[in-house]
Structure 1
Amino acid sequence: MNSLAQEIAGFSTSRLRKQSTRVTTASGQVLLETRSGADYHSTPDTERQSADTCGFVQDFSLDLQVGIITPFLLLSSQDAAHDIDTLKKLKVTHVLNVAFGVENAFPELFTYKTVSMLDLPETDITAYFPECFEFITQARQQDGVVLVHCNAGVSRSASVVIGFLMSELKMSFDEAFSVAKTSRPQIQPNPGFLQQLKTYNPA
């Protein structure tokens, strides 16, 4: 039978097996934390660094689903905005890009407007509405079809579309949100945008 001293020795840090843990910091840096006995080391994990960026898990699956809000107004992610077959099938003529850091894919084929905004609750999204709505209205007057997109087609572009329905088509927030949600079920404006839309009072 082992003595108490022998049992304690069995749990000594010098006898622990080497353990490694991957940690992604808020800035997106991937570290490999290694503990061997009483020693502890933290080093950059170059193997995973390129795959994990910005502190977010990347989704590499394509989202080509496009919400048809009205015959002239469409809502999508950047994936659909970069898919020429989707754009042609839906007869898109104008593209409103409200993403940040997303290039316009086919400037020679479509009329683009870029209004870069951040998907942060504290962003005053209503300050961007006038230039966005003007672009959509001009396209409509030219019998065009406008695709509004951000990165994921969930928050910024959805908020712009909901705001347009409220401002130009005189819908209430609930009506506009319902139209957008029915057309593209994955929409979910961030809490700050939702609050701004609920109190938005178009002139």
Structure 2
Amino acid sequence: MHVLLMKGWWRQLMHLSNDLNEMGVVLTRVNNSCKAASREPVNTSQTAGSICDRDVNSTGSDHSSIVPIGSKVCEPEEVLVPALPETACVERGYITPQQAYNLLNAEEGHPALHDPYYILILDCRNAKRYKESHLVTARAAVTVIHPQLGCLISSIELQKYSIILLYAEEGCSPVGSVKARADSPDLQRCFFQLNALGMDPVILLGGFSAFNALYPFLCSSQMVLLEPERHTLTIYPSEILEGALYQGSVSQASDYGIIKNLHITHVVNATAKCPDAFPNMLCYLRLHLSDDSEQNLVEALPLASRFINAALKSEPAGRVLVHCSMGRSRSSALTLAFLMEHRSWSLLHALRWLKERRACTAPNVNFLRQLLTYEEQLFGSRLTSLDDIRR
């Protein structure tokens, strides 16, 4: 079937199952309300800073920078017991709003949404509701699948789409069930018509209401179909932990609209030279890292991991964006370190989780080797092999 997304990621999604002396570490503190981290980061030769773990949405806050540099490897306080990621149980044929968000913002060299045949989104509500607001790039289902006339677009044309996503106003009942047919008859009709044509559509769990409640900035009253129009769309960072942890590029981290819409409070900047975009508004951990075979992450991994954890556990809870230049290698390594240390996942399980949410995840081999060492430090033994994660 044609439903494949960027080198097999869609199939994975549906089966869900240099040198320390050259590395500068800068922790930017915003507000006097920043508290010390609950765990000591690393013994340093200079004064270590506190991790901002309170609300930092203040433009008039006091700002300072602290640069700890050291050479001691940060050892875990205790050996972790490996755990498996817990995933929500979703009825076959459905995807969650978070999965739909990550599909809309997927990147593989360039934003997937810029390709007009990447995803066909069909709004199965009435015309009035569609005109009021709909998922970005969505089309009214009646313009593609007519209740009486059948398909208005040839099956050959439909087969060009990598993904076909349907949604009603609400709904989470099993496809084809009596309740589903009663709640959203137009969507069910459309679903089975497409099936009869050899398509394999998926349905948005909870419908438009659920998606709009979480991501109103990805809903619009405007119809966006043509490729030039698609190039004007904002592509957001991938959501790694729902409503909590995001990963993306430096351009996304520098877009105020993205920061505002995602309610980002903390940022891990893993670029070598790009400055922090909003130092007076957000709490930053600045790690001057290079994406090469010489870069040492011995301090960066625990620092980033514990900075993210402190932000997410603060009161009120923060939202963290981890970024490098493209959001592929350096940022992935730091996100993986957090998932291993604070979710107790092996590197293999953490990498699978991350790739299911950000298809372009690609830590370089040097980083993977260091992550394997970090895994051994955390768990007391190596749980993953390099062959496992390079397949």
TM-score normalised over the length of structure 1? 0.66
Residue aligning to 1:105: 277
Contact 2:311 2:318 in 1 (8 A): yes
Q: Which residue number corresponds to residue 192 of structure 1?
A: 366
Q: Does 1:67 find its partner at 2:241?
A: no
**Amino acid of the structure 2 residue aligned with 1:85:** G
Correspondence for 1:163 among 318, 321, 337 = 337
Contact 1:67 1:180 in 2 (8 A): no
- Single out whichever of 177-186 and 119-128 deviates more from structure 2: 119-128
Kindly state the Cα deviation for residue 178 of structure 1 after the two structures are TM-superposed: 1.1
**Matched pairs, number:** 144
Question: Displacement of 1:122 after TM fit?
Answer: 2.4
Equivalent of 1:82, from 247, 251, 254?
254
3-state SS in 2 of match to 1:168: helix
Larger RCO of the pair (alpha carbons < 8 Å, separation 6+)? 2
Match of 2:289 in 1: 117
Deviation by residue 1:24-76 (Cα, 9 ceiling, x = unmatched): xxxxxxxxxxxxxxxxxxxxxxxxxxxxxxxxxxx9x9983411111321110
Structure 2 distance, partners of 1:183, 1:97, is 20
Report the 3-state secondary structure (helix = DSSP H, G, I; strand = E; otherwise coil) of the residue aligned with 1:181: helix
Q: Is the 8 A contact 2:236 2:258 kept in 1?
A: no
The offset of 1:126, in angstroms, is 3.4
Q: Which one-letter code corresponds to 1:78 in the other structure? A: V
Q: Offset at 1:81?
A: 0.1
Partner of 1:136: 308
**CA drift at 1:156:** 0.4
> Where does structure 2 lack aligned partners over 5 or more consecutive residues?
1-109, 111-230, 379-391
Shift of 1:102: 0.6
Q: Secondary structure at the match of 1:75?
A: strand
Of residues 134, 153, 164, the one that matches 2:327 is 153
Question: For each residue in 1:62-113, what CA deviation from the matched residue of structure 2 results, as whole angstroms up to 9, or x when unmatched?
Answer: 9834111113211101011001111111111111101110111111221112
Kindly provide the amino acid, as one letter, of the partner of residue 328 in structure 2: V
Gap change, CA 1:99 and 1:64, over 3 Å in 2: farther
Amino acid at match of 1:87: I
Residue 138 of structure 1 aligns with an amino acid whose one-letter code is A
Q: Is 128-137 or 63-72 further displaced after alignment?
A: 63-72
- Superposed CA deviations along residues 115-141 of structure 1, whole A, max 9, x for unmatched, are 111111222223311221221122112
Asked whether the equivalents of residues 302 and 337 of structure 2 are also in contact (C-alpha less than 8 Å), the reply is no
Task: Give the secondary-structure state (helix, strand or coil) at the position aligned to 2:331.
Answer: helix
Q: Going by fraction, where is strand more abundant, 1 or 2?
A: 1
Q: C-alpha displacement at 1:148, in angstroms?
A: 0.4
Separation in structure 2 between the aligned mates of residue 100 and residue 64 of structure 1, nearest angstrom: 23
Residue 353 of structure 2: aligned partner:
179
- TM normalised by structure 2 equals 0.35
Which whole-Å CA distance do the structure 1 matches of 2:303 and 2:257 have between them? Answer: 28
Tell me the secondary structure at the aligned position of residue 298 of structure 2: helix
Match of 2:137 in 1: none
> 171-180 or 118-127: which moved more?
118-127
**Corresponding residue number in structure 1 for 2:185:** none
SS in 2 for 1:125: coil
Aligned pairs for 1:2-17 (under 5 A) are none
Percent identity reads 32
